[in-house]
Amino acid sequence: MTEEQAERGHRVTHLELFFDLVVVFAITQVTSFLARDPTWGGLLRGMVLLGMLWWAWSAYAWLTNTLDPEEGAVRLAVLAAVAAMLVVSLAAPGAFGRGTSFVPSLLSPHRAMCLRAT
């Protein structure tokens, strides 16, 4: 690897690491969900929950690899995604209950990122 290639390499920003930390918190909240319903049905719902969190994280990771997360407008979109994922984290234990804010919060980072990507 030449010095020029190393300079062009993508480094992880503090904002990306903070988003990852929020996603890890969301994943730990799934354990609260599983503790309340230790049945096969609860396990299936927990796996669906983990799949949705993984989908959100992977879409975010792809986008921050495509765009510069330190750019002004992208930084605002990332901060909005962090805020929405924090709401997702807090809503995860009651994700399949009535009146939950889980799904709208899960979709809002995708809307923000998709608007920025176009």
- 17-47 pLDDT per residue, tens: 888 888 888 888 888 888 888 889 889 988 8
Q: Given the structure tokens 């230790």, which residue do they identify?
A: 38
> What is the C-alpha to C-alpha distance for residues 31 and 95, in angstroms, rounded to an integer?
12
**Residue 71 region by backbone torsions, left for phi larger than 0, else alpha for psi between -120 and 50, else beta:** beta
> What is the C-alpha to C-alpha distance for residues 48 and 98, in angstroms, rounded to an integer?
17
> What is the C-alpha to C-alpha distance for residues 103 and 111, in angstroms, rounded to an integer?
12
- Confidence band of 1 (pLDDT split at 50, 70, 90): very low
pTM, full prediction: 0.68
Token output for 106:
């899960």
* Residue 117 predicted with pLDDT over 60: no
> Average pLDDT in the 51-80 region?
80
Q: Given the structure tokens 């209950």, which residue do they identify?
A: 97
